[in-house]
């Protein structure tokens, strides 16, 4: 992990903190948006599906959150500029969550269609790097943080996961280098673990994945990361989950 220089804490600032979360219309992005809203963040969220994004934003606003929804594709430079324009002159946290599984059902690397592999790298690697580049001046000004959502497929060899895993491995190394270069920021790349999401279902078409936890189960770990601001580095959500208080005598927590 990269310790880096001292970073000013954004907790307790008089003005509201602002977070951009990509891919926030469903799954982990939507769950994390709700969790950060409860921490007092103003939110800027995006997704390709405008209707789904509008529904997610409406639910967040109904719960009291301040939300700006910017529909679009993170691979589109004009959309990335629109996300920058939506930030109100300040940015404390960028969550690069939007991603794609790539080819489904998962093919062997020997048979992986190269056009789909290029598309997977465009979404999972190039787009988050490009968005981070665009937002770095605002993040530096606030001593902010970049949170990149990754996968154990980046570090483990699973048959069929060569395309997605290679893309996430590239994102992890890019995160590692960014952390070494940007000493005024926190840069975290986090493996959330298996979750009951559409992407995970696409990886296992026709299989029952109801035993996987819902994305909301991962949010406390990510909220802890944002609140405690540990050194830049790779983390597993399972290792960040807040400790469960021991039961007191008589069964009372």
Q: Residue 60 has which token pair? A: 């967040």
- Rounded distance between C-alpha atoms, residue 218 and residue 195, angstroms: 8
Active site residue 164: yes
Pairwise CA distance, residues 178 & 40, whole Å: 27
Query: Which member of 112, 158, 164, 235 is catalytic?
Result: 164
Among 192, 214, 195, 215, residue whose Cα is nearest residue 204: 195
Contact 196, 215 (CB under 8 A): yes
- Paired residues of 18 in beta bridges: 42
Cα–Cα distances (Å) from 114 to 72, 117, 195, in that order, read 24, 5, 27
CA terminus-to-terminus distance, the chain: 34
- Rounded CA gap, 73 and 82, in Å? 11
Q: What is the DSSP letter of 15?
A: S
Find out whether 87 and 138 touch, Cβ atoms under 8 Å.
Answer: yes
- β-partners of residue 19 are 43, 93
Distance CA 149, CA 166 (A): 14
Backbone angles phi, psi at 39, to 5 degrees: -85, 0
Positions marked catalytic: 164
């Amino acid at each position: 992990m990269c310790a880096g220089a001292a970073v000013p804490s954004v907790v307790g600032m008089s003005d509201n903190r602002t977070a951009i979360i990509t891919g926030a219309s469903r799954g982990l992005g939507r769950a994390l948006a709700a969790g950060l809203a409860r921490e007092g963040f103003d939110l800027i969220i995006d997704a390709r599906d405008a209707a789904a994004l509008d529904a997610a934003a409406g639910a967040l606003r109904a719960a009291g959150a301040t939300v700006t929804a910017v529909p679009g594709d993170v691979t589109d430079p004009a959309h990335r500029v629109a996300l920058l324009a939506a930030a109100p002159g300040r940015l404390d946290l960028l969550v690069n969550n939007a991603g794609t599984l790539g080819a489904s059902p998962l093919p062997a690397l020997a048979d992986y269609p190269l056009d789909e592999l290029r598309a997977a790298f465009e979404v999972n690697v190039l787009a988050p790097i490009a968005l981070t580049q665009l937002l770095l001046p605002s993040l530096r000004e606030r001593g902010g943080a970049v949170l990149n959502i990754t996968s154990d497929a980046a570090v483990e060899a699973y048959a069929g996961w060569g395309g997605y895993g290679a893309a996430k491995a590239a994102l992890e190394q890019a995160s590692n280098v960014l952390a070494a270069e940007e000493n005024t920021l926190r840069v975290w790349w986090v493996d959330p673990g298996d979750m009951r999401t559409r992407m995970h279902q696409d990886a296992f078409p026709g299989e029952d994945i109801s035993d996987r936890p819902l994305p909301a189960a991962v949010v406390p770990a990510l909220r802890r990361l944002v609140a405690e601001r540990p050194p830049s580095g790779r983390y597993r959500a399972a290792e960040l989950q807040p400790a469960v208080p021991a039961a007191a005598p008589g069964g009372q927590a």
